[in-house]
Structure 1
Amino acid sequence: MSIHVLPGQIAAAPVRAVLRPAPLRRFLARPVLNAPTLSQAGDSYWLAWLQAAMTLTLTMMIAAGFAAAIDEWTLASGTALALLTLTAATLSLGATTALIGLLASPMATVRPLPGWQPIGRTAVLLTMCGEEPSGPARMLSELAMDLERQGINHTTTLFVLSDTRDPDRIALEEETLAPLIDAGQIVYRRRTENTGRKPGNISDWLHSHGNRFDYMMTLDADSRMGASRIATMVERMERSPQTGLLQAGMRLVPAKSRFGKLQRLSARLMGPTFLTGFALWTGDAGNYWGHNALIRVKAFREAGHLPKLSGSAPFGGDILSHDFVEAALMRRAGWKIEIDAETRASAEDGPQTLAEFHKRDRRWCQGNLQHSRIIGMAGLHPISRMHMAVGIMGYAAGPIWLALVILLSAGLVPAASIWPLLAVVTLLLMPKVCGLLRNLGSTNSPRARKIMLRAATAELVMSSLLAPIVMIRHVLAVGSVLTGHDCGWKSTTGRRVNLPSGMLEAAGGIALVALVAVVNPDALLFMLPVAAPLLAAPILVPYLDRQHDVHI
């Protein structure tokens, strides 16, 4: 069974909301949580407390179980307990979020009535910095026509805000966008000085054009947004004057490589359930993911000014993961930050190769670790601090997992039971299980349910093989930031070291096996699920990077 066949088959079964098969269907047909009522009435605070209580309970149960299983307390045992507790807390948060999304009714979308027209004006801001322009140009052309069909083109203006510096790329960009500019479909502006990167580009636009607009929709060069979705989000914001930012859920566009298809399949299986739960319990203290979000210009101008961190990069200077911070600052100023969990007519491209994924992840790692200097800022909402803490843990988890594997495999933590570790694995699987249960309700067809189960099994196998590879890369990325390297690994000559695909991970696997073989050979079988994918990385990585003609 291969991952690139099943996702193509599953496309015939659209994901809907409630579980159909027999007793469980009847249970979930009466949702425990009514999503529209909670989000509209602002009653999500009690749900946030419930979420916190469930997360804390699960974390303490696993920590207590692990402590009880330890035969001898040493420095290594105490370290392992602390690391496991941190891991359990993060995984419990994800598991309970997915559970809330499973038990909730679908979040209803109130679409504008026929003939509705926006009161305010909206600017759609697409930012570019050297990307291939043909894709954005095609998307903008389609969006311009879509806005006209939707009847909101007179209140919506499309901007391209370019920070491209290379002369050849500038020429290609201007040539590609010229037909749209001549047709009056877009307004094109390229800065000569790209101070402040993307946030600086948007800030410059606010100074020069912001007075003319009430809302701005932020897009990246690889983003997609439909006019109907823009209209729905504008109408919702006009009904809620205190909403400062509305973040749309997103899908991934059809992929070209096996790795891209795996990402898209994972998002389709788990995304809707997780997003629903996340939108519910975060309430009006949601988050911003940098694009596909509608922002009230007034709110952003009042509160979205990014601080410049003292010192030099990687921990100082410009904030790379600016979106989390902008959302936190607006929430601190009293504006609501909400998440629209629906993914209709909102999408983005995902990395098609592991090299592209690691390159993007390295930048995100540095940006998220910078949040360690912001998380204690006075006046931030507790959930805003939680967003930053989870973002930091997203990358700290790699070194933590590796440290736990080494401590346990080396026999430094004598434990009488592996049940606490199995509980951690259960938490890790919970979002997948919740997503699968909800997606199985998409059809009454036994054949379609069988395809869904096969696809979910394939996703589980492939993501499990990929997890140790990502872990090693996160260890390297965190280590790079902590040792003062800014945005990428550099050799002593200043040139990037290029190794054959998967060799770096294989070297990590060899080192891990060698260590365990020397200090505790009996544990070789225990650490095989981690070591085997690393050793197979020179084969696995090229396999995942390879393009395939089945699109999902």
Structure 2
Amino acid sequence: MSRGARRGPASRYGGVGRGLLLALLVLIPSLVAGEFLLEVLPHPGYTILNDALAVVFGVLFGWISVGLWVSLAGAVLLLLRRQSRLKVPAVTTRDARVALVVPVFREDPRPVCARIESVYRSLEAAGRLAQYDFFLLSDSNDADAWVEEEVAWAGLRARLGGDARLYYRRRRLNIKRKSGNIADFCRRWGSQYRYMVVLDADSLMTGEVLGRLVDLMEYNPSVGLIQTLPAAIHQNTLFGRVQQFASRLYGPVFAAGLHFWHMGEGHYWGHNAIIRVAPFVRHCALPRLPGSGAFGG
């Protein structure tokens, strides 16, 4: 959310109300399920083992309940064809500068550059290329890896032409990994861009979608971030094909359900999103936490 924007009462209290409703819908059945398990165990009585089993069963039951209520809300929204709260622009805007950033760490640079080329060509076909600069941001700490990256980048520039605004940078110190690479980009060049689109090394987006994201951000100045729904493509293994099928079939339902419960305050998955750079730089720089491991460092 950009600086100076205020959430309306419906956004403030509606989100809290839906959150409390979801908590009740998950908590009450989980408690009932735990009590039911205690009744059907072969050795009745409140022993330590039975209590532990009931707690674990209740937690797992609650986890399943969250998926149920999210998917149910999403299915209802899709059946009713409810539209997003965002205002949809009637005309497009072409003056906003956008950085498309792709952080990499020892990935195979050839398919990465092939996907960047596909996005570039799609934006060119959509007539939106003039708004975008492309940044390949490397954290690779192996000499062979970054040499391959530079060769792939040079080959891509040769294919796209000398006027292509495609830049490569490798950090010497991989501080905070890919999130640190994005932060470093924002400190150095963020002030030159109104928006940035963050893609993962295996991400692929069409020029039409990228242009629509920019238009939505321009028309909704209080919005700080819009995230697309990722879907798996070109999977070859059995597990990958199952994931691809699931993401295509269930992904829109879960995304609509998350939109209903979270409203405008959902979590950010880290890529495939457009971000308003200025408020991101002002408010999203987290301090370094004490300690080490998953809960520090």
TM-score range for the pair, normalised by the shorter chain length: 0.7 to 0.9
Deviation at 1:259, TM superposition (A): 1.5
Query: 1:165 corresponds to which letter in structure 2?
Result: N
Alignment of 1:96-495 (within 5 A): 96-105=69-78, 106=81, 108=83, 113=90, 116-182=92-158, 183=161, 184-317=164-297
- Partner of residue 81, structure 1: 54
Q: Whole-Å Cα distance in 1 between the matches of residues 21 and 295 of structure 2? A: 34
Is the 1:44–1:281 contact (alpha carbons within 8 Å) kept by the matching residues of 2?
Answer: no
In structure 2, distance between residues paired with 1:307 and 1:121: 29
Superposed counterparts of 1:63-78, under 5 Å: 63-70=34-41, 71-78=44-51
For the residue of structure 1 that corresponds to 2:204, the secondary structure is strand
- For the 8 Å contact 2:88–2:219, the answer to whether it is kept is no
In the TM superposition, residue 119 of structure 1 has moved relative to its aligned partner by 4.2
State the Cα distance separating 1:266 from its structure 2 match.
2.1
Query: How far apart in 2 are the matches of 1:61 and 1:119?
Result: 57
Q: Shift in Å at residue 185 of structure 1? A: 4.3
Question: Following TM superposition, by how much is the alpha carbon of 1:277 offset from its aligned partner in structure 2, in angstroms?
Answer: 0.4
Change (3 A) 1:181 1:44: farther
Q: Cα distance, 1:251 vs. partner?
A: 0.6
Q: Distance in 2 between matches of 1:316 and 1:255?
A: 35
Identity %: 30
Counterpart amino acid of residue 63 in structure 2: T
Cα drift, residue 65 of structure 1 = 2.2
> With structure 2 as the length reference, what TM-score do the two structures score?
0.85
Match of 1:53 in 2: 24
> Per-residue deviation at 1:154?
1.5
Aligned partner of 1:54: which letter?
A: L
Contact 1:124/1:216, CA 8 A, preserved across alignment? yes
In structure 1, how many angstroms separate the alpha carbons of the residues matched to 2:282 and 2:102? 22
Question: Quick one: which amino acid aligns to residue 156 of structure 2?
Answer: L
2:133 match: secondary structure: strand
| 1:137 to partner: Cα distance | 0.9
Contact 2:99 2:133 in 1 (8 A): yes
**Can you list the C-alpha shifts for 1:351-409, whole angstroms capped at 9, x where unaligned?**
xxxxxxxxxxxxxxxxxxxxxxxxxxxxxxxxxxxxxxxxxxxxxxxxxxxxxxxxxxx
AA aligned opposite 1:150: A
Deviations 1:498-526, CA, capped at 9 Å, x for gaps: xxxxxxxxxxxxxxxxxxxxxxxxxxxxx
**Secondary structure in structure 1 of the residue aligned to 2:209:** helix
Q: Tell me, which stretches of 5 or more residues in structure 1 are unaligned?
A: 1-40, 318-552
1:178–1:112 Cα change, 3 Å: farther
| Relative contact order, higher structure (CA 8 A, sep 6+) | 2
Q: Aligned-pair distance for 1:258?
A: 1.1
Is this contact kept in 2: 1:117–1:152, CA < 8 A? no
Deviates more, 1:207-216 or 1:304-313: 304-313
Please tell me whether the aligned partners of residues 97 and 277 of structure 1 are also in contact (alpha carbons under 8 angstroms): yes
Return the letter of the residue paired with 2:100.
V
CA distance in 2, matches of 1:246, 1:289: 11
Alignment match, 1:474: none
Q: CA deviation at 1:123?
A: 0.7
TM-score when normalising by structure 1? 0.47
CA contact 2:227–2:268 (8 Å) conserved in 1 = yes
What is the aligned residue count?
Answer: 276
Kept in 2, the 8 Å contact 1:124–1:218? The answer is: yes
- Report SS of the residue matched to 2:198: strand
1:215–1:294 Cα contact (<8 Å) kept: yes
Q: Displacement, 1:274?
A: 1.3
Paired with 2:176 and 2:141, the residues of 1 have a C-alpha distance of 14
Tell me which of 91, 97, 103 is aligned to 2:64. Answer: 91
User: Structure 1 residues 279 and 208, CA, compared in 2 at 3 Å: closer, same or farther?
Assistant: same
Change (3 A) 1:44 1:267: farther
TM-fit CA distance, 1:314: 4.8
